[in-house]
Each structure stands twice: as structure tokens, then as C-alpha cells.
Structure 1
Amino acid sequence: MKPSRTTSSLARRLADRAGRLLELAWSAWAGLAALCLLAAVWQAGHEAYGPFILSSPQETIAAVWQLAGMPEAWSVATLTLQRSVTGFALVAGLGLVLGLAAGYSPATMRIAAPLITVLIGVPPIAWIVLAMIWFGGSDATVRTVIVVTALPVVFLGAAQGIATRDRNLDRMASAFGAGPVRRFLTVGLRQTTTTLFPALTLALGTAFKVAVMAELLANAGGIGGALADARINLDIANALAWVLIAVSLLIAVEYALVQPVKGEVDRWRRAAQPWGVKR
């Protein structure tokens, strides 16, 4: 009997995960519709201003296809991807740990608030200049700018999520015998998702944007360096192709990394939601 129960429980869990994956895939239709609308506006801008100002979507996709056949282009895109993802991983780890610690301590939040304001107020271009002076045109320059620029967002998301948690749920879990660690993992941490995951999504986008900007200004290779070459050659189609590649990498990382984790952590919110209904 026990093996059959274990098999049945495993089958239910696998079916639940498959259902969440199908729901995520189905929700992509709305995103595709938005991308089609963007392509229509893009085409209208091309027809209004001509190819010298804005190449058409078809020309840009053709340039992307041409770049896809070049091994050196894959190396360029991989370099930017590696810098962005590693920088985002540092931001997510540090921001989550520091934010959760500050969320449990109102005094720490009051001390950290002006520091966060200062970090958010400094333009990314200023951090790029300073990082170039400190580290030159290296990976450290790109990662440093990503961390300094995106860390406050994740910090605030984690801290606000913990600070606004429902204390009654903590008391209820304690009454049922849950210890501090279990209450944190099953009650406190799960309540941070409302603010934490939007902050992580914003930080991921910031990581890619800042990485490309730092590469361009610091002459550090990657997609930013390719954009600098396209600017010198006045190659609008090639420049837009690299932008499209950067955005595609961002979308791929978000829906392969952030969204699946969000769906797994947010399972408790689905208890009161019928299939396909988003409240």
C-alpha cells in the first residue's frame, strides 16, 4: 500500500507542476499580442521616417538571422548574457538576505532608507565612470555597476514584503508548533512574493540594460561593443538587431528562471483561484 500511495502522491505533484507550466505557456498569448502591437508601431515608424532613421522589422529580423550564422556573434551575446546573469545573481542573493534582515528590524530600515535613496539617486552613468576608473574595461566594471544599480530595488522588495507580512499567520503557525525556521520558510518568506518578484523582474531588466550600457561606454566588448561598432558604421539594422537580441535574452532568462520559481513559490495563492482566472 505504501508504494502505491507514494506513486499516487508523486503523480499528483507532477500533474500539478505540468498544469502550472501549461498555464504559464497559455498566458504567453497576451505577451505575443503585445509584441505584435509593438511590431505594428515599429513598422509605422519605419514607413513614416524611412530606413535611415528606423529600419523595418523584417530587415531587423534578417540582420538577426545573419548574425545567428556568425560564431563570433554568439560569443558576443554569450559574454553579455554571462555578465548580466551573474550580476543579477549577486543582486538577488545580497538583496534578498539584506532585505529580509532589514524587514525584521524597523530600526535597520530607518537607517537604510537614506542610503537606499542615495544609491537610487546616483545615475547609472556616474557609476559606470567610477567603475571604469577603478576596474578599467573588465567584467568587474559591468558587474559592479549592475550590483550598485539594481541592489536597492531587490532590497526594498524583500524588506517591504517581510515588514508588511501578516503577523497573525506567524502566531497561528507558532500555536501549531512550528519553530522559527519553519515559520520563516513556510509563512514569512512566502508572503514576500507580492513585492519581491516584481523587484526581481525589474532588477533583471536593469541588469541587462546596465550591462549593455557599461560595455558600450567602457569598450568592454559584448553587445554594447557591437552597438558601438554599429553606431560608427551608421548601421541602423545591425544596431536594432543587437537590441532585439538583448531583449530576447532578457525574456528568455526571465521566463526560464524567474517566472518558474515564482510559480513554484506562489502555489499557496492558487488555492482560492479557479483555473485560468487571475485576480
Structure 2
Amino acid sequence: MTASTSGPDAAAGLRDRLGRAGLFLWSGWSGLAALALIAAGWQAGHEAYGDFILPAPLAVLRRALAILAAPDNIALALQTGRRAAEGLALSVGIGTLGGVIAGYAPAILRMMRPFLTVLLGVPPIAWIVLAMIWFGNGDGTVRLTVLVAATPVVLAGAAEGIVTRDRGLDMMAQAFGAGPLRRFLTLGLRQLGAHFFPALVLALATAFKVAVMAELLANAGGIGGELAEARSNFDIEGALAWVLIGVSLLIATEYGLVQPVRAELDRWRAAARPWGVKR
């Protein structure tokens, strides 16, 4: 009996998963439309100010493709992505753990708020200078700067998600005998996503921006190092091409990794929406 029902259940689960993947891919049209609007505004700026101030988007795209044709340049872009990902992974681990603890303990949350204000108030360039003194012109400088810049955002998002959870559902689960860990995994963790994933997207963008900034100021290679070289040569087209490469890497990371995981974890929200209502 179990074997006969497992097949249809697995097929239904596979169809449901494929359907969600199709909807996620179809929703990409709105993102492509936004990119088209950005390109149109960019082209208008190019026609108004000329190549020296703002090269044409197609010319920058061709330059970016020419840059990526060299394996060494691909390695430089991936180096920046690796540094940003390593710093972000540390900030997500520390920020999520601290945010969950603070969300369940209001006294700790009140103590953390001045700490978050101090971290957010110090500009990233100050941390870059300190990291250069401590770690030199290497990976440690980039990782530390990303860690300090992204952790407060993740921590605040995780804490807010726990604080604003539906305590009625938590009490109901407790009445049915669910322990603290099970309540967190089945209820708290899912409700956490409403605030955590927007904070994670912001932290991801911050990680890439800060990583490039740290590489540029510390002369640590990667995309930032190439931007520094383009600045010294007054190569505006080359600088914009490297910016385009960095932004493309960021978009690929967000929509290839973060957003699919968010869509998978947030599928329970679809049951609470009326038919035909879209986000």
C-alpha cells in the first residue's frame, strides 16, 4: 500500500516543484523590463553627454564580453565573488544566530540596538583602513570589511522576523505538544523568512559593493583592482565594463541562489492568498 501511494505522491510533488520553477522563471520578464528601462536611460545619457562622459551601453557590453574572453579576467571576477561570498557567509552565520537569540530574548535585543547603531554608523572606508593595517592587502581585508558591513543588516532582519512572529500559532503548537526546537523549525523559521530574505538581499548587495571598494582602496586585485587601473588610465568604458561584470555577478548570485531558496521556503504563503492574486 505504501509503495502504491508513494509513486503518485512523488509525481505530484515533482509537478508542483516544476510549476513553481516555471512561475519563478516567468516572473523574470518584469526584471528584464526593468533592465531595459535602465539601458534606455543609459542610452539617453550617452546621447546627451557623449562617449567621454558616458559610453553607449552596447559598447560597454561589447567591452565586457571582450574582457571575459580572457581566462585571467574571469579569475579576477570570480576572486571578487569568492571574497564577497566568504565574508557574507560569515555575516549570515553570525547575524542569523545573534538575531534569533535577540528575537527570543528582548533584553538582549535592547542591548544589541546601540551596538547595531555603532556598526551601521561607521563608514565602510574606515573599516577598510583598519583592516589594511591589521591584515595587509589580502583576502582578510575584504572579508573583514564585508563581515562588519553586512552582519548588522542580517542580524536586524533575523531579530525582526522572530519578534514579529505569530505567537498564537506558537502557543497552539505548544498546546499540541510541540517542543521549542520543533516550533522553531516548523513555525518560527518560516515566519523568519518574511524579514530575513529582504535583509539577506540587501546584505548580498552590500557585500559585493564593499568587496569591490576594499579591493580598490587596498589594491588587492579582483574587480576593484581593475577599476583602479581603469581610473588611472581614464578608461571610462573599461571601468563601466568591470562595473557591469560585477553587477551581473551579483544578479546571477541573487536570482540563481537566494531567490529560488526564498520561493521554496515561502510556498506556504500561496495557500493564504486568494486565487489570481499575485505579489
- Asked whether the two chains share a fold, i.e. TM above 0.5, the reply is yes
Alpha-carbon offset, residue 140 of structure 1: 0.6
The 2-side partners of 1:277 and 1:245 are apart by 36
The 1-side partners of 2:3 and 2:236 are apart by 62
Alpha-carbon offset, residue 212 of structure 1: 0.2
Which residue matches 1:226?
Answer: 226
Moved more, 184-193 or 268-277: 268-277
The 1-side partners of 2:61 and 2:275 are apart by 36
The 2-side partners of 1:269 and 1:50 are apart by 48
Residues 1:97 and 2:97 are matched in the alignment: yes
Alpha-carbon offset, residue 264 of structure 1: 1.5
Task: Please say if residues 137 and 220 of structure 1, whose CA atoms lie closer than 8 Å, have aligned partners that are also in contact.
Answer: yes
The percentage of counterpart residues that share the same residue type is: 62
SS in 2 for 1:51: coil
Give a deviation string over 1:74-105, Cα, whole Å, max 9, x none: 11101001111111111111111110011000
The 2-side partners of 1:151 and 1:276 are apart by 37
User: What TM-score, normalized to structure 2?
Assistant: 0.97
Which residue matches 1:126?
Answer: 126
Moved more, 165-174 or 6-15: 6-15
Alpha-carbon offset, residue 20 of structure 1: 1.3
The 2-side partners of 1:276 and 1:207 are apart by 36
User: What TM-score, normalized to structure 1?
Assistant: 0.97
The 1-side partners of 2:26 and 2:129 are apart by 43
Which residue matches 1:255?
Answer: 255
The 1-side partners of 2:137 and 2:27 are apart by 40
Alpha-carbon offset, residue 230 of structure 1: 0.7
Task: Output aligned runs, 1:256-271, within 5 Å.
Answer: 256-271=256-271
Moved more, 256-265 or 41-50: 256-265
Which residue matches 1:10?
Answer: 10
Alpha-carbon offset, residue 63 of structure 1: 0.2
Which residue matches 2:272?
Answer: 272
The 2-side partners of 1:2 and 1:175 are apart by 31
Alpha-carbon offset, residue 274 of structure 1: 5.2
Task: Please say if residues 23 and 276 of structure 1, whose CA atoms lie closer than 8 Å, have aligned partners that are also in contact.
Answer: no
Task: Output aligned runs, 1:77-88, within 5 Å.
Answer: 77-88=77-88
Give a deviation string over 1:108-129, Cα, whole Å, max 9, x none: 0111110100000000111111
Residues 1:144 and 2:117 are matched in the alignment: no
The 2-side partners of 1:73 and 1:276 are apart by 46
Alpha-carbon offset, residue 231 of structure 1: 0.8
The 2-side partners of 1:81 and 1:156 are apart by 24
The 1-side partners of 2:174 and 2:64 are apart by 56
SS in 1 for 2:27: helix
Task: Please say if residues 146 and 211 of structure 1, whose CA atoms lie closer than 8 Å, have aligned partners that are also in contact.
Answer: yes
The root-mean-square deviation of aligned C-alpha atoms, in Å, is: 1.1
Q: 5+ unaligned residues in a row in structure 1: which ranges? A: none
The 2-side partners of 1:113 and 1:134 are apart by 27
Task: Output aligned runs, 1:56-75, within 5 Å.
Answer: 56-75=56-75
Task: Output aligned runs, 1:94-243, within 5 Å.
Answer: 94-243=94-243
Residues 140 and 275 (structure 1 numbering): CA distance in 2 closer, same or farther, change over 3 Å? farther
User: Structure 2 counterpart of 1:13, which letter?
Assistant: G
Moved more, 159-168 or 202-211: 159-168
SS in 2 for 1:53: coil
Give a deviation string over 1:181-224, Cα, whole Å, max 9, x none: 11000011111111110000000000000000000000000000
The 2-side partners of 1:274 and 1:52 are apart by 52
Alpha-carbon offset, residue 13 of structure 1: 1.5
Residues 1:47 and 2:54 are matched in the alignment: no
The 1-side partners of 2:261 and 2:175 are apart by 29
